[in-house]
Amino acid sequence: MSQISIPFNRSSLVGRELKYIIQAISIGQIAGDQSFTKRCQTLLEKFLDAPTVMLTTSCTHALELAAFLLDIQPGDEVIVPSFTFVSTANAFLSRGARPVFIDVRPDTLNLDETKLEALITPKTRAVIPVHYAGVGCAMEALLAIARRHGLVIIEDNAHGLFGKYKGRPLGTFGALATQSFHETKNLTCGEGGALVINDPQYTQRAEILREKGTNRSRFFRGQVDKYSWVDVGSSYVMSDVLAAFLCGQLEAWEHIQTRRRRIWNVYHERLAGWIAAKGARGPVIPPECEQAYHMYYLLLPALEVRTALINHLKARGILSVFHYLPLHLSAMGRKLGGKPGDCPVAEDVSDRLLRLPFYNSLTDADQERVIQAVLEF
C-alpha cells in the first residue's frame, strides 16, 4: 500500500499560537479562566453577537453542561438527529434521558424539521439541531415548533462557527449552543469547546456547574468573600495554555475562513462535471444559509463506489474518510430500540458519503492532486 502523503486533516499554526502559549506560561497563567480564556470568550461573543460564551474542555463537555443546566432527568426525551457524532446523544443519555432519533433531510443532511412534530411526546424536553457541515438547519421552522410545544433548543454547532442562517450566526438561535475546537475543526486548540449562552437565565448556574459546583468565579470577581460548594458540577474549564493556542487561531479567523472558502469552491467547481457524470452529488447550500466551510463531501451512488474511490485515492497517497454510522443502528442505538428503517435517509447517506482532505494548510498543489485523482476515477 502506498504511503499517505495527503492526510484527511492536518493541524497547523496560522498566527500567534506559540507566542501566546509562551506568554501564558511565562506570566504563570496555565490553569483556566485567566487572561487568554477571557480574550477567547470576548472574541467569540463578538463574532457570534452572543451575550455569554464560556470555554470548555470540549464540545462534548459543553453538551453535558447544557444537559445539566436543563436539569435533564431519567424519563425525559431529547430529540437528536441520527446522523451526528455520538456526543450529541450521549450528553443527554448520561443524565438518564432517552435520545429519540430523528431522520435527516436528503439535501442538507440536517435534521428533518417536517418529521419533528410526530416525535414530540409529553416527555420531550429538548431538540438538538446539528448544523451539519456548517450549513444551517431550518431554524425558523424549528423555533416555531419548539415554541408551540414548550421545548428548549440546544444547537450543536460543532461544525458551524461563522455560518449563518438568514443572516444570523449559527449558535445564536437556541437557548444554548455548543462549539468544538477539536483538531478537525476550522479553528482549533487540539481539544476544546465552548458553551454559548443566549438565554441569560442559565448564565449564573453555568458558571457554577462548569467550576465543579463551586462559586469560584464569583469569588474571583470579589462578589463573595470565600468560595464553596453550592451545586452539582464538574470540571469543564479549559487550561489557559490551550486558550492561548485558540486565541492565536481566533485572531486569524478571517485568514482561516478565506482559505477554507477557496478550498471548498475549488473542489466544488473542479469536480462539478465529474459529479454529474458519476450520478453523485456535492453539498447543497440553501440560499438562506451562509455556510461555515467546514468540509467538502461527495455523496456517491452506492457503497461499492465509495469503497472503490477510497481505495483508489489511498493508492495515490490520499486519505479520504466517511462518517457517521447512524446512531440508531450503532450498538448503543440498538440497545435503545433502534432498528433498520427508522431513519431511512440517514441510513442511505451514511453508506455513500465521502469526505475529501480539507484543512487550513492544504496547498493548491496538493488539492490539485486530490482533484486529479478523483477525476481519474
What does the binding site for ligand PLP look like in residue numbers (CB under 6 A)?
58-60, 84-85, 87-88, 130, 156, 158-159, 180, 182, 193
Cβ at position 165, least distance to ligand PLP in Å: 16
- List strand residue ranges (DSSP E) for the chain, in order: 52-56, 77-81, 98-102, 124-127, 152-156, 164-165, 168-169, 176-180, 193-197, 289-290, 297-299, 353-355
Q: Which residues pair with 125 in a beta bridge?
A: none
Asked whether the beta carbons of 245 and 22 are under 8 A apart, the reply is no
Cβ at position 73, least distance to ligand PLP in Å: 22
Asked whether the beta carbons of 281 and 305 are under 8 A apart, the reply is no
State which residue, 95 or 278, has the beta carbon closest to ligand PLP. 95
Cβ at position 180, least distance to ligand PLP in Å: 3
Asked whether the beta carbons of 133 and 283 are under 8 A apart, the reply is yes
CA distance between the termini of the chain: 18
- List strand residue ranges (DSSP E) for 83-187, in order: 98-102, 124-127, 152-156, 164-165, 168-169, 176-180
State which residue, 294 or 369, has the beta carbon closest to ligand PLP. 294
Collapsing DSSP to helix, strand or coil, 78 comes out as strand
Asked whether the beta carbons of 246 and 187 are under 8 A apart, the reply is yes
Q: Which of 371, 360, 359, 369 is nearest to 298 (CA)?
A: 371
State which residue, 193 or 283, has the beta carbon closest to ligand PLP. 193
Query: What residues contact residue 65 under an 8 Å CB cut-off, 6+ apart?
Result: 56, 195, 206, 209, 210, 234, 236
Distance CA 332, CA 348 (A): 19
State which residue, 21 or 158, has the beta carbon closest to ligand PLP. 158
State which residue, 34 or 179, has the beta carbon closest to ligand PLP. 179
Place of cell 416555531: 144
Cβ at position 64, least distance to ligand PLP in Å: 10
Cβ at position 60, least distance to ligand PLP in Å: 3
Cβ at position 191, least distance to ligand PLP in Å: 7
Cβ at position 118, least distance to ligand PLP in Å: 23
State which residue, 69 or 373, has the beta carbon closest to ligand PLP. 69
State which residue, 184 or 215, has the beta carbon closest to ligand PLP. 184
- List strand residue ranges (DSSP E) for 98-172, in order: 98-102, 124-127, 152-156, 164-165, 168-169
Cβ at position 173, least distance to ligand PLP in Å: 16
State which residue, 60 or 172, has the beta carbon closest to ligand PLP. 60
